[in-house]
Amino acid sequence: MLKAQYERRGPVPQDVIHAVEFETPQLEAGQALIEVVAAPINPSDVLTLTGEYGQLPPLPAVAGREGVGRVAQLGPGTKEREVGELVLLPVGCGSWSTHVVADAKHLAPLPSEADPLQLAMMTINPPTASLLLSEFVKLGQDDWVIQNAANSAVGLYLAQLAKHRGYKTVSIVRREDAMAVVREAGGDVVLVDGEDLADRVSEATGKAKIRLGVDAVGGTATGRMADCLCRGATLVNYGAMSGEPCAIHPGAFIFRDLTMRGFWLSAWYQQAPEQKRGAVVGEVARLIAEGKLHAPIQATYDVSDIKAAVAAAASGERSGKILIVPRR
């Protein structure tokens, strides 16, 4: 058995993580041993390794916040799950591992007919996209939403969910070779960011009033997005890919009554009622099983290759997600 562990944090994420062998744990009543099928590397995972994320586990720690696996063994008298079931791993369980131990009652069964690699990515990015579309502005049929970092995992999920719900999207990317994947995901208008963005958005949408902006970049990109929004609109930031503070001219707030909000999924999970959490995750699982929601995958790596996997995930030129898929 192998797990990806780190004892320190540092600016180069692949330098602090390494594969460590461990013995088969002795299960207690109510516990399950799960063979990990797949676990993605998300930006939040990379920021956790560098120490820049908003919630850091005590050290040493096993990395990986989400994934799926199959129940391999049950503790004495445990009846909540069955051996062989495909299950969703608990958030923050240390999923970059060949095996994890979890309380059986906290394991959610998943549809066996769905692609497990797609299901492995369902806990963080799809709910983020779903909630960005629903929690801040009440949108109706054919309403427009504008987002940047549109070729990111959240951006592609947002484009697909918006299409499913009847909304139209303006999707902003930072390079031309990223446009095709967004169009394939259902993006209605796809543009490369630039100083004349507001004029190009207005022309492409027929001067539509855009009431919701979704920003993952920060810096001057936030201000360019603000210029595309109508009076009284809401701009939501959930990331800082530029590494810079959001820069918006005060006139956007003073003269156009813009509202700016932040969103962090971890806080939402902690505060939302269990029924609402279940509804969001349940919708995501159903859409993935139906083939209506998916994300491109660039490469898969074994746990033993964790350094190369993290380096690939931290690269800015990826065309899909990096997943840990343990070899058997």
Tens digits of residue pLDDT in 110-158: 988 899 999 999 999 999 999 999 999 999 999 999 999 999 999 999 9
Q: Which residues contact 117 (CB under 8 A, 6 or more apart)?
A: 37, 38, 297, 300, 323, 325
53 is catalytic: yes
Question: Three-state DSSP class for 6?
Answer: strand
54 and 176: one domain? no
214 in any annotated domain: yes
Listed residue (102, 83, 112, 119) closest to 325, CA to CA = 119
pTM: 0.93
Q: Which two tokens stand for residue 37?
A: 């099928």
Task: Quick: pLDDT tens for 26-39.
Answer: 999 999 999 999 99
Task: Give the structural domain span for 314.
Answer: 2-121+295-324
Q: In the chain, how many domains are there?
A: 2
Query: Does residue 269 lie in a domain region?
Result: no
| pLDDT given at position 60 | 97
3-class state of residue 295 by DSSP: coil
Of the residues 53, 157, 269, 301, which is catalytic? 53
- The tokens 């801040």 sit on which residue? 136
Task: Count, in order, helices (H) and strands (E) of the chain.
Answer: 12, 16
Residues 93 and 171 in one domain: no
pLDDT at res. 250: 96
Query: What secondary structure does DSSP assign to 187-237, as a single string?
Result: -SEEEE--TTHHHHHHHHTTS----EEEESS-THHHHHHHHHSPTT-EEEE
* Domain CATH code at residue 63: 3.90.180.10
- Other C-beta atoms closer than 10 Å to the C-beta of 250 total 7
Same domain, 250 and 305: no
250 and 145 within one domain: yes
Residues of the chain with pLDDT under 50: none
106: left (phi over 0), alpha (psi -120 to 50) or beta: alpha
